[in-house]
Structure 1
Amino acid sequence: MTAKLFTPLEAGALRLRNRVVMAPLTRNRATPDGAVPGPLAPDYYGQRAGFGLIISEGTQISQQGQGYASTPGIFSTAQVEGWQPVTEAVHARGGTIVAQIWHVGRVSHTSLQAGGAAPVAPSALRAESKTYDGTGFVPVSEPRALGIDEIPKVLADYARAARNARAAGFDGVEIHGANGYLIDQFLRPSANVRTDAYGGSVENRTRFLEEVVETVAGAIGADRVGLRLSPFSPANGVVVDETASETFARGIERIAPYGLAFLHMVEGTTGGSRDLPAGASIEALRTLFPGVYIANNGYDRETAITAVETGRADAVAFGRLAISNPDLAERLHLGAPLNEPDRATFYGGGAAGYIDYPTLEAASA
């Protein structure tokens, strides 16, 4: 009998051939000038079309939203055209792919901003974090607080990015609300000390999240929109405090009525421990969302199968293993050995560690 992990799934308008999901993975291989996907990107994503769903690497909604060198955007005509061969390669092999749309907020550097401007954030609080400026990892720059009159422009950038993603051939988008980036910054008291309608109370701190979801859903239809959150992850300098469970519960309650295609959550610390703070519960948050739930963080074959069989998750996303195993869904299905990822080639570079990991078929040949 086939484990449920390897069976099809409908997530809104998205049709997944299986429930093995490729998590969004920053690879820093876009063109340095123009932030256009590089020439190897169609091969990279096309090789991974056997995943039930591919979530693209984080793709900035504007230059202001860029936080790392050589990451792709989805706000210019050249970028849209650069993504088209990628989505065509995935669709030619029967795959489904969404673009993760991303604004990093304060996790940026002046060298990446137009005119050397300061990054923007909910509040003028610098993150205890580093970014990649094209030469190495450097401390992020001091941000300035977004004016309340600037927020509608940021929302419009999200809507434009979603429409551009569809124009580029993506089946939908995932809103990046996780890992200490802009939406997550609004949610956290450690990054948001505003005294206006976007700060202070839980209701105010969850306002921007709902407005982004409403805006993007209105642009392309909620059934083609997913959302990623990391409720208990201290990524990029945000603090997981005693308000986290209440904040994220209210945030999920606010977005639940929109009918999104899926909710995708990092369970624990991004790329690290699955341990949660005392009293915290992923299951409690998951029950507040009526749609498809994608689990993420530290899963292997057995734990993924169990999570889906028991209904704790509808699908499971894999990160590092998706880098080194382009045919991960098949390998997991067969219980086959896995390629080990080469961390030295994760960020930047060329074909090595990007499109040269062997498939089972190639390895046997």
Structure 2
Amino acid sequence: MTNIWEPIRIGRMNLPHRFAMAPLTRSRAQADGTPGELAAEYYGQRASLGLLISEGTQPSADGQGYPNTPGIYTDDHVRGWQRVTSAVHARGGHLFIQLMHAGRMGHPDNTAHGRAPVAPSAIAPGEKMFTLGGLKDAPVPRPLATEEVPATIADYRHAAARSIEAGADGVEIHGANGYLIQQFFSPNANTRTDSYGGSIENRARFGLEVVAAVVDEVGADRTGIRLSPGSRLGGIAEGEGHEAFYLHLVKELARFDLAYLHVAHGGNEELLRRIRELWPKALLVNRVNRPLEAATADVEAGLADVAPVGRWALSNPDFIERFRRGAALNPPDPQTFYGSGAAGYTDYPHLEASAASA
């Protein structure tokens, strides 16, 4: 049985334990996508988690979905992320920047250019989108022409290169949670008739070409990918055949020798077991609403190599120390999850401060 405190090597990183920080959207970047003034403090506070996976970061202007999310494609973005990576490294942690193209999960009001979101097909997600002007219907996206697809893949390549330039230890390709890559995966979001739609092989093609481009640019040992089989976020409905799709996809991804696969697990235990059997490298498993007492279960059972934590990390900058001691955790405040400055971002108390106030 693997113990949660056993060290592990992932890619080029030697990690001190089997926890990690899951990606968490915080919507506190500057209007141009540069990480906000408090971002370095926020991530630096959480460096003891070992591997920190950043909030979703758009690889291009068209990749932005929500207001005030960070980018990683301009010089200003790189300088902003350099402050973050320096703060994390100074405290012994590692940072992978998550490359997230939101695809149809966006709104013109959230971008500087005001264009319609792009997606595999002209199919709206049927969901509301948060904007600075309040909740609005996510519009029908503009479908990417076949000849535009290589440029979108090149955006991921460019963003990966800029991430390494910013000092990141690697990048996580976001292929989950209803965003662009999963939109290509899903038959209800992808009705294309070209080589990127229809069959399992065609629907997997865009994601695999993104992975190939990123690996070619920064190396397999600095590349991870996140998947969420069966997820219905963003209006996605992958259907009863999604198990066969993901088994094919994981087999193809295994050829790249990536640093890790990160599964946002939706509850299909047999599929997770099959993925574990097929995947030869580090497997991260993030279960939705997992109780604290089960935080180590997947690692101990051999179903996962690493257990990423989300909201617990958000509200507990010293989660590792608290968990090690069995100390109480700060409860997260949902009212401050997004875009409210230091409150609920960098002001959650550490264990020593909590004890002193008590």
Offset of residue 280 of structure 1: 5.3
Q: Secondary structure at the match of 1:150?
A: helix
TM-score (norm 1): 0.94
Secondary structure in 1 aligned to 2:4? Answer: helix
1:130-169 aligned at under 5 Å gives the runs 130-169=128-167
1:272 aligns with: none
1:109 corresponds to which residue? 107
Tell me what 1:285 maps to: 275
Matches of residues 1-365 of structure 1 in structure 2 within 5 Å? 4-32=3-31, 34-113=32-111, 115-268=113-266, 275-276=267-268, 281-297=271-287, 298-365=289-356
Cα displacement (A) at 1:331: 1.3
Counterpart CA distance in 1 for 2:312 and 2:238 is 27
State the one-letter code of the partner of 1:299: R
Provide Cα deviations, 1:253-301, integer angstroms capped at 9, x if missing partner: 1111111011001111xxxxxx44xx95211122221110001023344
SS of residue paired to 1:97: strand
2:262 alignment partner AA: H
**Whole-Å Cα distance in 2 between the matches of residues 330 and 209 of structure 1?**
37
Q: Structure 2 unaligned runs (5+)?
A: none
Deviation at 1:349, TM superposition (A): 0.8
Deviations, residues 225-275 of structure 1 (Å, cap 9, x unaligned): 11000002100100131121011111111111111011001111xxxxxx4
Listed as ranges, the gaps of 5+ residues in structure 1 are 269-274
Letter in 2 for 1:7: E
Question: CA RMSD of the aligned region, Å?
Answer: 1.5
Q: Which amino acid aligns with 2:145?
A: G
| Cα displacement (A) at 1:220 | 0.3
Paired with 1:346 and 1:148, the residues of 2 have a C-alpha distance of 37
Runs of 4+ that moved beyond 3 A: 112-115
Measure the CA separation in 1 of the matches of 2:262 and 2:127: 24
Q: Secondary structure at the match of 1:80?
A: helix
Q: Which amino acid letter does the alignment assign opposite residue 200 of structure 1? A: G
**Contact conserved, 2:67 with 2:111, CA < 8 A, in 1?**
no
User: 1:130 deviation in Å?
Assistant: 2.3
CA distance in 1, matches of 2:132, 2:223: 31
